[in-house]
Amino acid sequence: MVEDAGAEPVPVDPQAYRRAVGRFATGVTVATTFAGQHDHAMTANSITSVSLDPILMLISVERAARWHDAVVESGVWGISVLGQHAKATASWLSTHGRPLHGQLDRVAHHRGAATGVALIDGALAGFECRTTDIHVAGDHSLVVGEVVGLEIPPRIDPALVHFRGRYGHLD
Ligand SMILES: Cc1cc2nc3c(=O)[nH]c(=O)nc-3n(C[C@H](O)[C@H](O)[C@H](O)COP(=O)(O)O)c2cc1C
């Protein structure tokens, strides 16, 4: 039997759930895609490595987010894993209502060799994915993609992490 650690049960509502899941420390990424002649980018931490054969990743995307329709249209996407220096980028690319066009103007980036999606300069790792499946899950979509390109820079910064609604870093 698991010993009771003394925590009182909490009613499951969206606020309590957000508080609880916020205790799950994660890395921080920027998800990118290209649709309607424009780059689209969004801060995201719901990245999961899914499979090695074939090599698949997934991202859970809020269906109301503008990035959602863009990735559905384009079928290709990039994931840049952020280092601690990129906190301002993470804050900017999670700001609701930021201008859609030119949102990467202030963020140094380059094009991935496999798909041409934007990848953030100085990221700890870069992934390029081609969508294989989209599963509707509540108010989000689980977008699964085959990894068709990788960037692994030799020198890396400490990781940017997200914990209890705040940014920190891990060496
Ligand atoms: C640390 C962090 C992680 C986030 N992870 C996700 C995510 O995995 N999926 C998602 O849909 N939104 C995520 N968001 C929220 C989006 O970044 C935000 O809703 C989006 O950029 C809003 O853009 P829009 O106004 O174009 O819809 C995250 C925000 C932060 C601060």
Q: How confident is the model at residue 8 (pLDDT cuts 50, 70, 90)?
A: confident
pLDDT, one tens digit per residue, over 92-120 is 999 998 998 999 999 999 999 999 999 99
Burial 73-85 (b: 16+ CB within 10 A, else e): ebbbbbbbbbbbe
What is 26-170's CATH topology? Pnp Oxidase; Chain A (2.30.110)
The C-alpha angle 28, 9, 164, rounded to 5 degrees, equals 20
Q: How far is the CA of 57 from the centre of ligand 1 (A)?
A: 17
Q: Would you state the pLDDT for residue 155?
A: 84
Q: How far is the CA of 53 from the centre of ligand 1 (A)?
A: 29
The residue extents of the domains of the chain are 26-170
Measured by CA distance, the residue closest to atom 13 of ligand 1 is 44
